[in-house]
Amino acid sequence: MTNPARAVLFDLDGTLVDPAGAITEGILAALLRHGVPHPGDERLEALVGPPLAIGLLGLPGMDEELLPSVIADYRAEYAASGMAASRVYPGIADLLAELRDSGLALAVATSKPQDIAVRLLEMQGLLGLFDAVHGSPNDEHHTVHSGPGKAHIVGAALAAVGAEARDAVMVGDRHYDVDGAGAHGMACIGVAWGYAAEGELETAGAHAVVDSADGLRELLLGAAGRAV
């Protein structure tokens, strides 16, 4: 869609798809197999959002030497069973179809590696609903030096759908989504069903926080949505 009147960018895990423990449990298993101690549930859940390599290096007992093998171990298990275990959040598939029917351009902007994001969307039956999918480089080790932000991913997704920031809105579940949108002067709607800590989205400056697909529909397609 070229120069759309409006575009919506979505985060993936925690926003469109519930990993159903596949991410945190898979990462924990990979860590333990490599002798890295359990970091605690809170720190594991915080890994859903930023690039995995950057999140892992913040854990006690992790270093860059271990990083490639821990990631490879986790990704192999995720590909074998984690993607299939994930579930689309209630009402999301219908909402995406409705947004497309209304003429909006839709894109995914995720810190997940590009190829894995495409495979997950395809497996969950969502890929055909998007005009573009943008993620992190497939070589995750190289993301260590690019920083945890999503601004470059959001920018690529905006460009792919031919949208200006003023005509677009980001939807996500972590402060990384709010920050990435804000770097382009774009509004962000937070979703409460994901992995944000209490108050995280509001503190980051989310335009609004919704707790259901119906609430998101009202903001994107209702009277409030035209003001976003």
CATH number of the domain that residue 98 is part of: 3.40.50.1000
Q: Are residues 11 and 79 in the same domain?
A: no
Q: Are residues 162 and 56 in the same domain?
A: no
- Spatial separation of the C-alpha atoms in residues 56 and 174, rounded to whole Å: 17
Q: Are residues 146 and 191 in the same domain?
A: yes
Q: Annotated catalytic residue: which of 11, 13, 177, 179?
A: 11
pTM of the model: 0.87
32 occurs within a structural domain:
yes
Q: Are residues 219 and 145 in the same domain?
A: yes
Q: Are residues 134 and 178 in the same domain?
A: yes
Strand 168-172 and strand 7-10: pairing?
Answer: parallel
Percent of the chain with pLDDT over 90: 71
Q: Are residues 100 and 152 in the same domain?
A: yes
What pLDDT does residue 51 have?
82
Whether residue 41 lies in the annotated active site: no
Q: Are residues 151 and 190 in the same domain?
A: yes
pLDDT in tens, 167-220: 999 999 999 999 999 999 999 999 999 999 999 999 999 999 999 999 999 999
Q: Are residues 135 and 198 in the same domain?
A: yes
What pLDDT does residue 94 have?
97
C-alpha radius of gyration, the chain, whole number: 17
1 occurs within a structural domain:
no
DSSP string, the chain: --S-S-EEEE-SBTTTEE-TTHHHHHHHHHHHHTTPPP--HHHHHTTSSS-HHHHHHTSTT--TTTHHHHHHHHHHHIIIIIHHH-EEPTTHHHHHHHHHHTT-EEEEEEEEEHHHHHHHHHHTT-GGG-SEEEEE-S-GGGGGGT-S--HHHHHHHHHHTT--GGGEEEEESSHHHHHHHHTTT-EEEEETTSSPPTTHHHHHT-SEEESSHHHHHHHHHSTTGGG-
What pLDDT does residue 5 have?
45
Q: Are residues 108 and 140 in the same domain?
A: yes
2 occurs within a structural domain:
no
Q: Are residues 115 and 185 in the same domain?
A: yes
Q: Are residues 55 and 106 in the same domain?
A: no
Q: How many domains does the chain have?
A: 2
C-alpha 115, offset from chain centre = 14
pLDDT in tens, 134-165: 998 877 655 555 555 799 999 999 999 999 99
